[in-house]
């Protein structure tokens, strides 16, 4: 399965991100393109250790089962729930938000991931984090037909 820690995969994702613009419309879900880009940037900040979270009680109960399903080599399903702290609102400059998201993705080239704590799935290894990060980005780019 692809990982955001692979250079070729990052380049592919960045190429797809660059297809997004103010006119991009969601095929599902409630977020507009700006909100989706900001949401994904928060995910990257978590992956890079810029922001840290603790696993929720609900995650402690169901996170490992959900993680096993998510790690299967298939795209994420539309309309999955999001972690409440990753819900976005408002509008803003899509080009600036995209540039920040790409900057964060490019940081994986210089910074080795040693794993992380996801607010729902809990402790992830670096391999799991890289694979889920790819699936998350792919999910949202498919949401906006990119």
Domains of the chain: 7-143 (1.20.120)
pLDDT for res 23: 95
* Distance (Å, whole) CA 5 – CA 15: 16
pLDDT in the model for residue 84: 85
Q: What is the pLDDT of residues 50-81, one digit of tens each?
A: 999 899 998 899 989 999 999 998 999 998 88
Measured between alpha carbons, how far is 71 from 103 in angstroms, rounded to an integer? Answer: 26
> What does the pLDDT read at residue 111?
81
User: In the prediction, which pLDDT does 83 show?
Assistant: 86
Label residue 84 exposed, middle or buried (CB < 10 Å: 0-12, 13-18, 19+).
exposed
pLDDT at residue number 126 = 93
pLDDT tens for each residue of the chain, 146 residues long = 899 999 999 999 999 999 999 999 999 999 999 999 999 999 999 999 999 989 999 889 998 999 999 999 899 999 888 888 899 999 999 999 999 999 999 999 888 888 899 999 999 999 999 999 999 999 999 999 99
């Amino acid at each position: 399965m692809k990982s955001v820690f692979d250079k070729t995969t990052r380049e592919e994702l960045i190429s797809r991100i660059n297809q997004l613009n103010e006119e991009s419309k969601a095929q599902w879900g409630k977020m507009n393109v700006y909100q989706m880009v900001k949401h994904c940037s928060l995910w990257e900040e978590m992956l890079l250790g810029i922001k840290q979270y603790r696993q929720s009680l609900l995650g402690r109960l169901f996170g490992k089962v959900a993680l096993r399903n998510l790690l299967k080599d298939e795209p994420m399903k539309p309309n999955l729930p999001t972690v409440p702290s990753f819900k976005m609102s408002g509008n803003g400059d899509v080009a600036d938000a995209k540039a920040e998201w790409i900057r964060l993705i490019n940081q994986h080239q210089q910074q080795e991931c040693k794993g992380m704590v996801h607010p729902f799935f809990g402790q992830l290894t670096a391999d799991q984090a890289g694979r889920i990060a790819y699936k998350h980005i792919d999910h949202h780019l498919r949401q906006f037909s990119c």
